[in-house]
């Protein structure tokens, strides 16, 4: 039997936005996971779909960092941080607030030990549609990305912290009355390759969520085969069931469903979006919980192990039959079932124990030097 790489399984805290940090830790232990990707969204942010904020980011001190490290070590858990906003587009005032918030999270990760404790900072890049609507709009977004993120990545590198981009296109981030659903630059592999070529530093990498490629009719296994594995730090465990609906037949599987006059659509018997996220004919699911999905998880995990991926598999629960029910028990049940689905693929079998994770070393209190909060105008 091949020895597994012993990847940990974590939970992403976005599904538990109403829980306090102690309650979140208790629930994570109940699920059986080994860590938490803490969502730390702005309390004054504009997102309505994700609002979890599990750390006090405005008054975070070295003493608070030591308290958090002790709290997580007592629970035998690991952690990372993340807030996922538009950093290069959207409302200019909100954009700057998002950039400054990311800088606060990089500082917090530094105080928690940064890369030495595997504490990374997750983010989106976003997209600037004012530039994107121009000729060479994608190239102009790449250049805006470099202008904004080169100093941010340099700052993170100076503190021993790595920032990670998630590949969600954020297809419902704008009104369905817009034709494009490409709202986050690193949504495709080509973009991520170009981003690393523009900013070669190793202080940035990626969180890969295969569910987003599934509905884009792209095989996640082939994406992993062509990914720079040194950049890959996290896997989001979430999946997609592509729906074979009349809307998919009407609009196809390549481009988003478009908004047209409702009376005209009714007359023509054509489907139109029911809401801003209703564009690509899929259903969000958790692997192993309540039905089959549209990807080969065994092949996907096997290739990751073959390529030496040793990072956490983070369960991101957005499943319609779990987190989206609004029922706490169904949410926890979805996480637990998904973890058990992954266990035989990730962990070795032990007699009278089953498939189990071999615990890693505790978080270190590195007593790192405090640094002041910086803002984007000080870096650019």
Say yes or no: domain 9-243+281-351 is CATH 3.40.50.2300: no
Residues 112, 114, 117, 120, Cα dihedral to 10°:
110
Q: Report yes or no: 49 and 27 within 8 Å, Cβ to Cβ.
A: no
Q: Which of 341, 157, 154 is nearest to 238 (CA)?
A: 341
Contacts (Cβ under 8 Å, ≥6 apart) of 60: 104, 107, 108, 111
Distance CA 166, CA 184 (A): 9
Q: What is the CA radius of gyration of the chain?
A: 21
Q: Which of 36, 43, 39 is nearest to 17 (CA)?
A: 39
**pLDDT for 48:** 79
Contacts (Cβ under 8 Å, ≥6 apart) of 149: 87, 125, 195, 199, 204
Share of the chain above pLDDT 70, in %: 99
pLDDT band at 171 (very low <50, low <70, confident <90, very high): very high
Buried residues in 118-143 as b, exposed as e (16+ CB within 10 A): bbbbbbbbbbbbebbeeeebbebbbe
Per DSSP, the three-state class of 122 is strand
**pLDDT for 51:** 80
Give 325-363 pLDDT, tens digit per residue.
999 999 999 999 999 999 999 999 999 999 999 988 999
Q: What is the mean pLDDT of residues 302-326?
A: 97
Mean predicted lDDT score pLDDT of the chain: 96
Give 233-281 pLDDT, tens digit per residue.
999 999 999 999 999 999 999 999 999 999 999 999 999 999 999 999 9
Q: What is the pTM of this model?
A: 0.97
How is the chain split into domains, by residue range?
9-243+281-351
**pLDDT for 140:** 98
For residue 213, what are its two tokens? 């490629």
Give 192-222 pLDDT, tens digit per residue.
999 999 999 999 999 999 999 999 999 999 9
**pLDDT for 359:** 87
Spell out the alpha helix ranges (H) of the chain. 21-31, 62-74, 92-111, 129-132, 137-158, 189-198, 210-214, 220-225, 246-251, 262-268, 297-306, 328-346, 376-379
Residue 226 burial (C-beta neighbours within 10 Å; 0-12, 13-18, 19+) = exposed
For residue 134, what are its two tokens? 């121009």
Give 275-293 pLDDT, tens digit per residue.
999 999 999 999 999 988 9
**pLDDT for 49:** 79
For residue 98, what are its two tokens? 């998002």
């Amino acid at each position: 039997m091949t020895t597994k790489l012993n990847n940990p399984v974590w939970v992403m805290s976005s599904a538990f936005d109403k829980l306090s940090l102690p309650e979140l830790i208790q629930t994570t232990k109940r699920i059986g996971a080994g860590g938490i990707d803490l969502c730390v969204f702005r309390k004054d942010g504009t997102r309505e779909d994700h609002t979890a904020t599990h750390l006090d980011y405005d008054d975070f001190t070295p003493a608070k960092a030591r308290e958090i490290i002790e709290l997580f070590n007592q629970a035998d858990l690991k952690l990372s941080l993340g807030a996922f906003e538009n950093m290069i587009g959207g409302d200019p005032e909100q954009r700057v607030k998002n950039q400054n918030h990311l800088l606060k999270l990089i500082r917090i990760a530094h105080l928690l030990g940064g890369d030495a404790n595997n504490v990374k900072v997750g983010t989106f890049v976003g997209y600037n549609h004012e530039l994107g609507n121009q000729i060479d709009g994608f190239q102009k977004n790449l250049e805006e990305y470099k202008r904004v993120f080169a100093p941010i990545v340099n700052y993170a590198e100076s503190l021993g912290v790595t920032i990670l981009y998630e590949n969600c296109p954020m297809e419902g981030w704008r009104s369905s009355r817009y034709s494009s659903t490409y709202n986050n630059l690193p949504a495709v592999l080509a973009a991520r390759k170009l981003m690393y070529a523009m900013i070669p530093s190793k202080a940035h990498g990626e969180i890969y969520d295969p569910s987003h490629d599934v509905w884009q009719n792209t095989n996640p296994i082939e994406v992993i085969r062509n990914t720079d594995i040194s950049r890959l730090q996290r896997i989001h465990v979430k999946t997609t069931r592509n729906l074979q609906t009349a809307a998919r037949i009407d609009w196809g599987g390549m481009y988003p469903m478009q908004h047209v006059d409702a009376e005209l659509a009714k007359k023509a018997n054509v489907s139109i979006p029911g809401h801003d996220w209703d564009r690509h004919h899929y259903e969000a699911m958790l692997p192993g919980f309540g039905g089959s999905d549209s990807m080969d998880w065994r092949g996907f995990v096997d290739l990751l192990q073959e390529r030496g991926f040793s990072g956490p598999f983070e369960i991101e629960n957005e499943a319609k039959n779990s987190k989206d029910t609004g029922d706490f028990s169904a949410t926890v049940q979805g996480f637990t079932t998904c973890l058990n689905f992954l266990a035989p693929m990730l962990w070795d079998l032990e007699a009278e124990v089953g498939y189990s994770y071999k615990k890693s070393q505790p978080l270190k209190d590195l007593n790192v030097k405090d640094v002041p909060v910086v803002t984007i105008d000080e870096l650019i």
